[in-house]
Amino acid sequence: MKAGLDMPNILLTRVDNRLIHGQVGVTWTKTLGANLIVVADDETSSNEMMQSLMQVTAKSSGAETRFFTLEKTIKIIDKAAPRQKIFIVVKTPHSARVLVEGGVPIKELNIGNMHFSDGKRALNKKVYVDDQDVEDFKILIENGVNVYIQDLPGDVKEQVSHLI
């Protein structure tokens, strides 16, 4: 990864099970001033139905959308133009970890919704984790990523390091 001015302009990366929905596609995108939402998710990258539903939401904020696999995101993120103000959305902490370990310069990781499922425990009312999620958070934090829970832009940030 090149340093300095050639770095991609990543405004924020968010973990959200739902990927692009009203909160992400409108509220977060407008607050950040993002003009490109990159959904880095292997499953969604090949599901045109999911993509078209997400694009409808994103269009209302005026942002463009791209749907890439994790590997493709790693390979092309450094080719982003300086005018692109990028908001990356992933489904899981593990996806964020893969991106960071692949060289994507993520400095902040916002944790939005991580739904309850068997084997998961609550970090707060909207974020449920299992042992793999906790391990991924620890590695991200060790790599210098500021990992925090923040549902909406005006909400107080809860540092994940204090919760795990």
pLDDT in tens, 21-41: 888 888 999 999 999 999 999
pLDDT at 3 over 60: no
Mean pLDDT of 114-128: 95
Handedness of CA 3, 38, 68, 91 (dihedral sign): positive
pLDDT at 131 over 80: yes
From CA 86, how far away is CA 12, in angstroms rounded? Answer: 7
pLDDT in tens, 61-102: 899 999 999 999 999 999 999 999 999 999 999 999 999 999
Question: Looking at residue 84, what is its pLDDT?
Answer: 97
Q: At what angle do helices 131-142 and 93-101 cross, to 10 degrees?
A: 30
Upper half-sphere CA count for residue 137 (Cβ side, 13 Å): 22
What are the residues whose beta carbons fall under 8 Å from the beta carbon of 121, sequence distance 6 or more? Answer: 128, 129, 130
- Tell me the fold of 4-152: Fructose Permease (3.40.35)
Task: Band the pLDDT of 1: cuts 50, 70, 90.
Answer: very low
Q: Closest Cα partner for 130 from 87, 85, 94?
A: 94
pLDDT at 5 over 70: no
- Tell me the Cα Rg of the chain: 15
Mean pLDDT of the chain: 94
Residue reference for tokens 């450094």? 78
Residue ranges of domains in the chain: 4-152
- pTM (two decimals): 0.94
From CA 22, how far away is CA 133, in angstroms rounded? Answer: 25
Mean pLDDT of 10-16: 97
Instruction: Provide the annotated active-site residues.
Output: 21
> What whole-number percentage of the chain has pLDDT above 70?
97
Q: Closest Cα partner for 91 from 54, 145, 48?
A: 54
